[in-house]
Amino acid sequence: MSWAQALSRLPILRFAVIGALGMPVDAGMLWLMTHRAGLDPYSGRVISWLCAATFTWIGNRYFTFGARRARGFMPVIREWLRFLTANAAGGLVNVGLYSTLVRFAPPPANNLYVALVLGVLGGLIFNFTLSKKLVFKGPI
Q: SS in 3 state form for the chain?
A: CCHHHHHHHCHHHHHHHHHHHHHHHHHHHHHHHHHHCCCCHHHHHHHHHHHHHHHHHHHHHHHHCHHHCCCCHHHHHHHHHHHHHHHHHHHHHHHHHHHHHHHHCCCCCCCHHHHHHHHHHHHHHHHHHHHHHHHCCCCC
Q: How far apart are CA 86 and CA 88, in angstroms?
A: 5
Query: At 32, phi and psi to the nearest 5?
Result: -60, -45
pLDDT of residue 96: 95
pLDDT of residue 3: 64
In the chain, what is the straight-line distance between the N-terminal and C-terminal CA atoms, in Å?
35
Tens place of pLDDT per residue across the chain (140 aa): 676 676 677 999 999 999 999 999 999 999 999 999 999 999 999 999 999 999 999 999 999 999 999 999 999 999 999 999 999 999 999 999 999 999 999 999 999 999 999 999 999 999 999 999 999 987 75
Q: How far apart are CA 50 and CA 9, in angstroms?
A: 29
pTM of the model: 0.86
